[in-house]
Structure 1
Amino acid sequence: MMKFIFLFFPLLLFAQSKITTQTIDKRLEKSNALLIEGRTDEMVTLNLSILDDAKHINYAEGKLSAYYNLALAFSMQYKYNKSNYFLKMMEPEFKNSEAEDQEISMNILYSINYRGIKMYDEALKKLKKDLVMANSLKNDSTKCAIKGMILVQIGKNYFEKKQYDSAAYYGKRIVDELKKSKKMDAGMNTSLKAAMLLLAETKLNENKIDSAEVYIKSAQSVPIEWGNNDFATLKLWGQIHDARKQYDSAIVDYEKAIKLAGKAKNFKKLSELYRLIAKSYEKTGQIDTGNRYELKYNHLNDSLKRIDDENLEDTIDLLVEEKKKPLEHQTHLLLYVILIGSVGAIIIIFFVHKRIKNKNRVLNIKEKETQELNQKLNFAFEEVIQLAKNNDPEFLTRFQEVYPDFFPNLMKIEPQLQSTELKFCALLFLNFSTKDIATYTFVQPQSVQTRKNRLRKRLRIPSDEDIYLWMKNMYIQ
């Protein structure tokens, strides 16, 4: 009997360890179930294993899906740096895959990561580029579902920018897009439900309670289950009951939403729910219970703020890297042109007269290029100054593009600098006076001076050193 077992053991081992595209696809379906349940840690473990197997058999679609699932799981955990890492790993795999919508999905997730650190305009650029790509998709149902996903994300960005008219416009546009489809699938229904909830939340913020209720009921009638992620619907019901002063009903809704958000590990929504339920308890006179939830809110919000600060530098670096790609392409082209020019110079070296003329022409071109470069630098400086004066949200991003070494040098001294502090340092670097900073950021001059003093302590700037000169020196290190 033992001989029989040992004889067939290698065959059993082989049968158990055999990897096929079908087994990988089944495991990817399991990953989707984990996503719906919010079990992101298990999702990460599973997809790391799937990725190894997909690499083993060189299954391009499997690798792409595993990379995307890993990026999605880390994004849901607000670990945007890890999410972006796996998104970047996806890019080389596109050439080996026939999945026409994967690149669009990648860009959508990039935009979610940008939105996570409030870089809304960069997120919108990604999404509007995706809309152009989506129009070229061949499969009509895929095109419709993908466009719905993109429009939902565009609407969410406008909502968080508090541009509620734009958010409502894109919510209604999703509904119009989906009406074109003859048959609704799970992806389309997901987009439709998300659009209805977006419209409901928009109406709530406009204090149009009855309209918000209509959209929530419409969302609930969409035949799609979100599992633990359906806390969004309960949260909105809680807000409607709260607006109608039905505080006990609001508390019941919030409690249910908190349980689901906890299971889904959506800590940002959980933080928001803690704040909402704390206020409802206070309105019912249950001050102690309200205070307990307020403490939970403060604790979780502080943790999320630390995570946001950690993500800021990595995501800005990613953005700068993306901006450099076209410039690198131009540099390679220039090197190629220079190489061709060198070969030509060898050929015509015997023609002295032409060589001299050519040399003069090259010098003129170089002089012209230098002038153009100086003009561009001056223009970039003026553009950054104007963004600062307008208190524009794009100021921080554009500043990092023009002065890429400044923030990293500051981070070497104090890695925990917040985005508001980085912006303040940028204004000092640009030589804005205390009065100017107060005017353009809408604060009192004494508040600006207080921030200067705090910044000196954090960055260990000697009291006898000019803070403006110190900031200038940080860029040239």
Structure 2
Amino acid sequence: MKLLILFFPFFLFAQQKITTTGIDKRLEKSNALLFEGQTDSMIKLNLSILEDSKHINYPKGKVYACYNLALAFSMQYRYNKSNYYLKLMESEFKNLDDEDEEISMNLLYSMNYKGIKMYDEALKKLRKNLVLANNIKIDSTRYSSNAMTLVEMAKNHIEKKSYDSATYYCNRVIEEVKKPKNLNSGLNTSLKIALLILTETKLKENKIDSAEFYIKSAQSVPIVLGNNEFRTFKLLGEINGAKKQYDSAIADYKKAIELAAKVKNIKKLLELYSLISEAYEKTGQRDNEKKYTLKYNILSDSLKTIENENLKDTVDLLVEEKQKPMEDRNNFLLYIICIVGTGSIIVIFLVNKRIHKKNKILNVKEAETKVLTQKLNIAFEEVIQLAKNNDPEFMTRFQEVYPDFFPKLLQIEPQLQNSELKFCALLFLNFSSKDIAAYTFVQPQSIQIRKNRLRKRLNISSEEDLYIWMKNINTN
């Protein structure tokens, strides 16, 4: 009996076999921890999932655990750790047949960039997602992906104080969730967040009635954000504050602070401490005002230290991303130089080697041309998609891809308006009158009128094909 008791732990250990089913159940538990904002427990759980997934070589477990770790660290503002697990996740892509893993990764990268105020870099990742989403075959997944991406784009624009753009992308979310017959929890979540962003936008624009409309719309969405409902109470507090109902505002801020503390959202806590301190000042409650001002100052110092560390680590990551193509190109050029140098020596002795070298250079040029063509095709597809979506980013991206087009038009007619330049860009991209009308929400007859006016402005003969003229001006 004593011998059996002695070896019992070994028998127990032998029974604890790691299985894919067990890992999947633990991943579901991780989602519940995320919903409750228990990031420390989430990190601990996913570290064990990652180790077990490596042990049995389970690709899904490795990728999802890496993503969950990256998300948890991002929520704690530890962007360096978050980016580490994103890079690890990226290396596992080839082992997992999942069409939206890159989109999830780009979303999280964008959140990390937004966290250190690199909004343009965040938007680049998100624009890439809108292109990638077109390849998703499952409708519900595609709708959810687009909605989440558009929500993040709206968040970046509100941080940039581009309130018109933030409103535009929130409205895009609302349009996206109208497409499926039934809304799943993911789409409802995106819808509610978009409505909360619209509430915040209207508050920034001092449109209190509109803010009240959107907060009520958000509250009517059949989804509960758990501890993340602090966003709703914060906005309610700001609305009450704007209406000088300070006692109600303070009550809302207290609820928001309680929930934000549970999910350890330091940045929102900092903002809430400032708001409640101002509300107490308005009511003449000086002790409470000083109490929350002190909390604000302590937390602000702590956050600055975290932000300085994250800024360096995330900038290093960005530099690495930018330098990698350059390093690859330099290595490639070095390779060519070595080949050419070796060939030059050999050519002295053998004419045949010289011919061989010429053929090799031609092959390299063909490969370079092929790579360049692929890059241009990707950029062209991105510009086309932005145009179809009537996206405010269209003009900026078009100028990046075709930098000479607008300057040449303005040399001919310096007084061209932005709307006319955009119309010329759509013609250059070979959109038909019907397509332009559909994407810009005007009647097809109006497009023909605009074409005739444009001919007069640019002195284009009625016998000349307008589309060919636009193509030619970019090559002349």
Q: TM-score, normalised by structure 2?
A: 0.72
Q: Does 1:294 align with 2:293?
A: yes
1:111 is aligned to: 110
The separation in 2 between residues aligned to 1:186 and 1:354, in whole angstroms, is 66
Identity %: 64
2:134, 2:332 → 1: CA distance? 31
Which residue in the other structure is 1:14 paired with?
14
In structure 1, the residue matched to 2:264 is 265
CA distance in 2: counterparts of 1:224 and 1:106, whole angstroms: 25
1:213-238: CA deviation from partner (whole Å, max 9, x where unpaired): 11111111222221111100000000
Q: Distance in 1 between matches of 2:258 and 2:353?
A: 81
Structure 1 counterpart of 2:57: 58
- The alpha-carbon deviation at position 349 of structure 1 amounts to 2.1
Pairing of 1:196-211 with structure 2 (within 5 A): 196-211=195-210
Which residue of 2 is the match for residue 220 of structure 1?
A: 219
**What whole-Å deviation, never above 9, does each CA across 1:15-61 have from its counterpart, x for those lacking one?**
2x211111111111111111111111111111111110010111111
- Counterpart CA distance in 1 for 2:119 and 2:39 is 25
What runs of 5+ residues in structure 2 fail to find an aligned partner? 362-476
Corresponding residue SS for 2:51: helix
Paired AA for residue 341 in structure 1? V
Specify the code of the residue in structure 2 equivalent to 1:321.
E
Counterpart Cα distance in 1 of 2:310 and 2:338: 41
In the aligned structure 2, how far is the partner of 1:354 from the partner of 1:8?
A: 74
* Cα deviations by residue, 1:77-106 (Å, 9 ceiling, x for unpaired): 111111111111111100000121111111
- Change in 2 beyond 3 A, CA 1:9/1:122: closer
Equivalent position of 2:33 in the other structure: 34
Matched with 2:340 is 341
Q: In structure 1, give the amino acid aligned to 2:71.
A: L
> How far apart are the structure 2 equivalents of 1:340 and 1:188?
55
Question: Residue 376 of structure 1 corresponds to which residue in structure 2?
Answer: none
Letter paired with 1:47: N
Shift of 1:336: 3.7
CA change 1:37–1:353 in 2 (3 A) is closer
TM-superposed CA distance for 1:11, in Å, is 4.4
* 1:145 aligned residue: 144
**Given the superposition, is the C-alpha separation of residues 4 and 216 from structure 1 closer, same or farther in structure 2, using an over 3 Å criterion?**
same
Question: Is 1:313 aligned to 2:318, yes or no?
Answer: no
Cα shift at 1:352: 8.2
- CA–CA distance in structure 2, aligned partners of residues 7 and 317 of structure 1: 52
Counterpart for residue 382 of structure 1: none
Partners of 1:112 and 1:192 in 2: how far apart?
18
**C-alpha contact (below 8 Å) 2:346/2:353 kept by paired residues:** no
Q: Pairwise mapping of residues 182-197 of structure 1 onto structure 2 (< 5 A)?
A: 182-197=181-196
Distance 1:208 1:19, change over 3 A: same
Equivalent residue number for residue 81 of structure 1: 80
Q: State the SS of the aligned residue for 1:135.
A: helix
Structure 1: which amino acid aligns with 2:155?
K
Task: Output the CA distance in 1 between the equivalents of 2:216 and 2:52.
Answer: 44
Give 3-state SS (helix, strand or coil) of 2:331's partner: helix
Q: Note closer, same or farther for the CA distance 1:351–1:8 as it changes in structure 2 (3 Å cut).
A: closer
Cα distance, 1:354–1:228 mapped onto 2, change above 3 Å: closer
AA matched with 2:223: I
Which letter maps to 1:12? L
Rounded to whole Å, the distance in 2 between the matches of 1:354 and 1:6 is 76
Aligned-pair CA distance for 1:332: 3.3
Task: Tell me how far 1:211 sits from its aligned partner.
Answer: 1.1
Match of 2:135? 136
Q: Residue 294 of structure 2: SS of its match in structure 1? A: helix
- The aligned runs of 1:168-187 (5 Å cut-off) are 168-187=167-186
Name structure 1 gaps, 5 residues minimum.
363-477
Residue 244 in structure 1 maps to residue 243 in structure 2: yes
Letter in structure 1 aligned against 2:156: N
Report Cα offsets for 1:359-414 as digits up to 9, x if no partner: 9xx9xxxxxxxxxxxxxxxxxxxxxxxxxxxxxxxxxxxxxxxxxxxxxxxxxxxx
Does 1:46 pair with 2:83? no
Aligned to 2:126: 127
Q: Secondary structure at the match of 2:18?
A: coil
Distance (Å, rounded) in 1 between the aligned partners of 2:140 and 2:249: 38
Counterpart of 1:153 in structure 2: which amino acid? E
Per the TM alignment, residue 143 of structure 1 is displaced from its structure 2 partner at its CA by 0.7
User: After superposition, what is the alpha-carbon deviation per residue over 1:120-161, rounded to whole angstroms, capped at 9, x for unaligned?
Assistant: 111111111111111111111111101111111111000000
Change (3 A) 1:132 1:353: closer
Deviation at 1:301, TM superposition (A): 1.1
Which deviates further from its counterpart, 49-58 or 329-338?
329-338
Provide closer, same or farther for how the CA distance between residues 279 and 337 of structure 1 changes in structure 2, counting only shifts above 3 A: same
Is 2:155 the counterpart of 1:160?
A: no
Which whole-Å CA distance do the structure 2 matches of 1:197 and 1:33 have between them?
A: 23
Shift, 1:346, TM fit: 5.0
Q: 1:337: Cα distance to partner?
A: 2.7
CA positional deviation for 1:350: 2.2
Matches within 5 A, 1:358-377: none
CA distance in 2, matches of 1:107, 1:216: 29
Deviation at 1:345, TM superposition (A): 3.3
SS in 2 for 1:179: coil
Q: Which amino acid aligns with 1:14?
A: A
2:23–2:49 CA contact under 8 A, matched in 1: yes
Q: Counterpart of 2:158 in 1: which secondary structure?
A: helix
Higher mean alpha-carbon deviation, 239-248 vs 221-230, is at 221-230
Tell me: CA distance 1:143–1:3, structure 2 relative to 1, closer, same or farther (3 Å). Answer: same
- What do the CA deviations read for 1:419-441 (whole angstroms, capped 9, x no partner)? xxxxxxxxxxxxxxxxxxxxxxx
Superposition deviation, residue 347 in structure 1: 4.5
Residue identity matched to 2:333: L
**Distance 1:352-1:11 versus aligned 2 partners, 3 A rule:** closer
1:98 aligns with 2:97: yes
Query: Hey, what's the Cα distance between the residues in 2 that align with 1:45 and 1:7?
Result: 29
2-structure distance, mates of 1:248, 1:286: 11
2:278 paired residue number:
279
1:394-405 mapped onto 2 (5 Å cutoff):
none
- Contact conserved, 2:343 with 2:353, CA < 8 A, in 1? no
Secondary structure of 2:92's counterpart equals helix
Q: Give per-residue Cα distances to partners, 1:300-327, cap 9 Å, x unaligned.
A: 1121111111111111110000001211
Q: Which amino acid aligns with 2:245?
A: Q
